[in-house]
Amino acid sequence: MKEFKVIEGGVCAAQGFRASGVYCGIKENPTKKNDIAMIVSDVVCNAAGVYTQNKVKGAPVVVTKKNLEKSGGKAKAVIVNSKNANTCNADGEEKADEMCRLTAEALGIKQEEVIVASTGVIGQVLPIEPIKAAVPELVKKLSYEGNVEAATAIMTTDTVKKEYAVEVTLGGKLCRIGGMAKGSGMIHPNMATTLNFITTDAAISSEMVKKALSEIVKVTYNCLSVDGDQSTNDTCVLMANGLAENPEITAEGADFDEFKAALYQVMANLTKMLAKDGEGATKLLTCVCSGAPDLDTAIIVAKSVIRSPLFKCAMFGSDANWGRILCAVGYAEADFDINKVAVDLSSRAGSIHVCENGAGVDFSEETAKTVLTEDEITISVDLNAGDVSATAWGCDLTYDYVKINGDYRS
């Protein structure tokens, strides 16, 4: 696959995007880490979002959908807080609307051009006063180098910020695509994702923004599982402001394919970062399902392996318990012949072939231990039933996952 040049700048890598992040005190926090962020484009963007399929939807999800419908897929700003998901609250939508109103007023733009998102504890009333006080400060601090302040403001149990950006040439013009994301628990996106904000200065129509986003989400964020719990606030937004002045992409073709390839690189790398920083994780697990008859089968099988708690624990223990991989392949809801399946485990330390035709083969336990003691493990599952592949990302299940989630609210 083509590799695009990786650049700095995250959500500000594309021209004309400013960002900021501050601490406003949504929840008392002695370390005063940033808890609210803003992203603003100099000009109106074509924008699209994909959202959680959970019946419980955070109020910001409902409001963002409403705004993008009202504006006809146009957006100019994002306001996003952490520490409180503004979900399952009787006054949730009112508060999310108020966040948009405050942002629009401060920036002198239309309320429906604001995208709002929240992440944190579910079912606690969102205090609006600290946000009200923070908006002018966020506007004042907006900067073309504000990406790090913004990326740190959306962190919850994340231990590192997640940013990624690339350059891509479209119609002879150099364009940029960048983004930021947050993890790191309640991660099992389905036709949606955790919080992700992608910006680009490429010129691309609203319709094609939407198409590119949904195609690439399917093979990136939707192939990610930290714990099998699908969040109520999953939101992924792509904003394109056109400042790179390439000929606008309005239909399928070479430019659209190139744009999608670059978008894939950004989103796949953010997905990997989310998996690697999954709550309590010590290892990034990448499952590549090949030899599938179709893409859906490949995705379902790869995700089933990545989700299995027993397999995740085995990886934490560097134990080549491949029977658990085959078990998870076997209960994946897809149609294929289990007796043709082959499995390999690999890392930078080497690889072992553990299963052929659905049955075990001899391997060296010593080599297995060496391979699995690494912190990035690839599980290759070949269905031998076609030529389609998909990749899913996850992490091991550790004591720290239990620790973090045994008392998250406090």
321 near its own copies (CB under 8 A): yes
**Two tokens at 356?**
């052929």
34 near its own copies (CB under 8 A): no
Q: Mask: binding to its own copies, 387-406, rule CB under 8 A, as x and -?
A: ----------xxx-xxxxxx
**Burial of residue 18, with CB atoms counted within 10 A of its CB: 0-12 exposed, 13-18 middle, 19 or more buried:** buried
Contact between 89 and 95 under an 8 Å Cβ cutoff? The reply is yes
Beta bridge partners, 236, equal: 50, 196
Measuring CA to CA, which residue among 309, 296, 330, 334 is closest to residue 396? 309
Interface positions, 114-133, toward its own copies (CB under 8 A):
121-125
326 near its own copies (CB under 8 A): yes
Q: Mask: binding to its own copies, 37-66, rule CB under 8 A, as x and -?
A: ----------------xxxxx---------
Among 72, 359, 366, 387, binds its own copies (CB under 8 A): 359
Report the C-alpha gap between 329 and 11 in whole angstroms. Answer: 37
Q: How far is the CB of 407 from its own copies (least distance, A)?
A: 4
Report the C-alpha gap between 142 and 324 in whole angstroms. Answer: 49
28 near its own copies (CB under 8 A): no
Among 21, 178, 183, 185, binds its own copies (CB under 8 A): 185
350 near its own copies (CB under 8 A): no
Q: How far is the CB of 272 from its own copies (least distance, A)?
A: 21
Alpha carbon 24 to its chain centroid, in Å, reads 25
323 near its own copies (CB under 8 A): yes
Among 262, 272, 307, 391, binds its own copies (CB under 8 A): 307
190 near its own copies (CB under 8 A): yes
342 near its own copies (CB under 8 A): no
Among 4, 164, 221, 316, binds its own copies (CB under 8 A): 316
Alpha carbon 107 to its chain centroid, in Å, reads 28
How many residues touch its own copies under the rule CB under 8 A: the total is 65
Cβ distance to its own copies smaller for residue 16 or 127: 127
Q: How far is the CB of 179 from its own copies (least distance, A)?
A: 25
Dihedral sign, CA of 256, 257, 262, 265? positive
The residue range among 142-150, 248-256, 311-319, 372-380 that interacts with its own copies, by the rule CB under 8 A, is: 311-319
Cβ distance to its own copies smaller for residue 186 or 377: 186
For residues 330-350, one letter each, b for 16 or more C-beta atoms within 10 angstroms of the residue's C-beta and e for the rest, the string is eebebebeeeebbbbbbbeee
Report the C-alpha gap between 340 and 330 in whole angstroms. Answer: 12
Q: Which of 64, 103, 193, 286 is catalytic?
A: 193
Report the C-alpha gap between 147 and 75 in whole angstroms. Answer: 18
Q: Mask: binding to its own copies, 76-95, rule CB under 8 A, as x and -?
A: ---------x-xxxx-----
Among 149, 227, 344, 382, binds its own copies (CB under 8 A): 227
Cβ distance to its own copies smaller for residue 6 or 313: 313
Among 94, 229, 252, 296, binds its own copies (CB under 8 A): 229
Cβ distance to its own copies smaller for residue 194 or 200: 194
**Catalytic site residue 398?**
no
Measuring CA to CA, which residue among 2, 211, 283, 306 is closest to residue 298? 306
The residue range among 109-117, 135-143, 326-334, 386-394 that interacts with its own copies, by the rule CB under 8 A, is: 326-334
Tokens 């910006």 belong to which residue?
A: 199
CB atoms inside a 10 Å sphere around CB 207: 14
Residues noted as catalytic: 193
Residues near its own copies (CB under 8 A):
53-57, 85, 87-90, 121-125, 185-186, 190, 227-232, 307-311, 313-314, 316-317, 319, 321-324, 326-332, 336, 338, 355, 357-360, 397-399, 401-410
